[in-house]
Structure 1
């Protein structure tokens, strides 16, 4: 006999789960799996989405750090380009990192709710 989730558990199976923490969602998913929930494919899909969200959030943070490091390196390279020729190479490499981080920031953009959710916040909204 398959288990039907109640209203408080059903909200964790929709996009509404972003209002809660990832740990709470995982606990409900494990409970539903143990109770023999009929739609196991939905639970697997939610787990995959959560994993991809975590990866996107990590990539976004890395790109943000890369962007913030590339800006001063480009500035220093442009200021000291007449002193040493190695600063041309430094400026070119930093420009490459700046452009790639801009694309990374744009492609991995997540909402504030998703950001809180991916960082395991336990605060309800």
Structure 2
């Protein structure tokens, strides 16, 4: 009797949301503001149906403890923000660009292993990880 009730509750309750490590931005709102922050900013250019982008998001989420307070992380949907995509020459997803003091200091295209992503972030942001 209790098992069907619990099952039906699980079916109607929303799934737990992932940690909000990556803050979505758009060209219409906060993209430029995000780049002008005090810390280095990692921008993930991604598409809605990009499986490789989701993999990179998972790696970033796993690195969030090491990045906390050292790097701000934002994402930008290239389909919803075509002008910003063009302005930065983004042709494929995922594309990761690192900015420091408003200037681009590093870039990487495509999904990669977690440790390679970690090394890219450390090198581009000039921070120890």
Interval of TM-score (by shorter of Structure 1 and Structure 2): under 0.3
Larger radius of gyration: 1
Q: TM-score, normalised by structure 1?
A: 0.23
Which structure's residues are more often strand, by fraction? 2
Structure number with the bigger relative contact order (C-alpha 8 A, sep ≥ 6) is 1
Which structure's residues are more often helix, by fraction? 1
Q: TM-score, normalised by structure 2?
A: 0.23
